[in-house]
C-alpha cells in the first residue's frame, strides 16, 4: 500500500508522503536533508523529464530488482523519486540529485560506451556497485556531516518508495496491519520474509 492510499479524505498523496518524510526525521538524506513545508501543486515533478523518470525507474530496478516479486520499477519508483526530490529537498540537494543523473550516464558511457539505459542488467549492477562503494568511501571520509552523495540519495529514496508501496509493503515483507499482542515465540523458517 502506498503512503497515500490510507490518507485522510481530502489529503493528497503528495501531502501524505511529505508528512511521512517529516515523521522519519530526515532519514532520507541523513541529518543534511532539509524538508520544506512548501509543496508543488499536484503536477508532474518540476525539473524532471520523462527520460529522467525512466532513468530513475531503471536505477531503482537495479537497486531492487524483480525476483519472485516485482522490483522497484513496478512501483513507479522514478516518479516517486522525482516527486520527493521536488517536494522535500532543498535547492542544493535537488541540484545535487539532478547532477547525479548526468553523472550516472557519464559513468556508464566512460565504462561501457553507452548511456545507463543502453547497458545490460549486469553492467548496470556493476556500475551501481561501484557508485555505492564511492558513496560509502565519501561517507567514511567525511562522516555523517559531509555532503550527501547523489547515489546514496537515490538508494535511500528507492528503499523508502519501494517499502511504502503496496508491492513492497505486502509482497516483499510480511505485513500486519494492526499489531496484536507480543508473541516472542513466533516460528521462523529459513527463507521467511521479514515482518513489516
| Range of weakest confidence among 45-49, 118-122, 132-136, 162-166 | 45-49
Instruction: Determine the pLDDT at residue 19.
Output: 60
pLDDT band for position 3 (50/70/90)?
very low
Residue 2 has pLDDT above 50, yes or no: no
The Cβ of residue 144 has, within 10 Å, a number of other Cβ atoms equal to: 9
Cell of 63: 537497486
Cell of 42: 499536484
pLDDT band for position 10 (50/70/90)?
low
Contact at 8 Å (CB) between 195 and 174?
yes
Mean pLDDT of 12-36: 51
What percentage of the chain exceeds 90 in pLDDT? 53
- For residues 153 and 46, the model is more confident at 153
Instruction: Determine the pLDDT at residue 159.
Output: 95
Instruction: Determine the pLDDT at residue 122.
Output: 96
23 CB burial (10 A radius; 0-12, 13-18, 19+): exposed
DSSP 79: H
Q: How far apart are CA 85 and CA 90, in angstroms?
A: 8
| 3-state secondary structure string across 46-77 | CCCCHHHHHHHHHHHHHHCCCCCCCCHHHHCH
Q: How far apart are CA 50 and CA 15, in angstroms?
A: 23
Burial 149-172 (b: 16+ CB within 10 A, else e): bbbbbbbbbbbbbbbbbebbbeeb
Cell of 141: 571520509
Mean pLDDT of 116-123: 96
| Range of weakest confidence among 27-31, 65-69, 98-102, 125-129 | 27-31
CA max distance for the chain: 56
- For residues 28 and 135, the model is more confident at 135
Instruction: Determine the pLDDT at residue 52.
Output: 95
Residue 116 has pLDDT above 70, yes or no: yes
Amino acid at each position: 500500500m502506498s503512503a497515500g492510499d490510507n490518507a485522510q479524505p481530502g489529503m493528497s498523496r503528495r501531502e501524505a508522503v511529505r508528512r511521512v518524510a517529516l515523521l522519519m526525521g530526515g532519514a532520507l538524506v541523513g541529518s543534511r536533508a532539509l524538508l520544506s513545508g512548501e509543496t508543488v501543486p499536484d503536477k508532474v515533478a518540476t525539473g524532471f523529464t520523462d527520460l529522467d523518470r525512466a532513468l530513475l525507474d531503471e536505477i531503482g530496478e537495479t537497486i531492487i530488482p524483480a525476483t519472485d516479486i516485482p522490483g522497484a520499477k513496478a512501483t513507479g519508483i522514478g516518479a516517486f523519486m522525482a516527486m520527493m526530490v521536488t517536494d522535500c529537498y532543498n535547492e542544493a540537494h535537488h541540484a545535487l540529485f539532478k547532477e547525479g543523473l548526468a553523472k550516472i550516464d557519464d559513468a556508464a558511457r566512460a565504462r561501457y560506451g553507452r548511456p545507463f539505459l543502453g547497458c545490460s542488467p549486469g553492467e548496470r549492477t556493476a556500475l551501481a556497485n561501484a557508485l555505492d562503494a564511492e558513496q560509502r568511501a565519501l561517507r567514511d571520509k567525511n562522516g555523517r556531516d559531509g555532503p550527501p552523495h547523489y547515489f546514496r540519495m537515490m538508494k535511500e529514496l528507492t528503499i523508502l518508495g519501494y517499502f511504502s508501496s503496496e508491492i513492497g509493503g505486502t509482497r516483499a515483507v510480511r505485513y500486519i496491519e494492526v499489531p496484536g499482542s507480543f508473541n516472542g515465540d513466533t516460528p521462523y523458517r529459513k527463507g521467511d520474509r521479514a515482518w513489516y
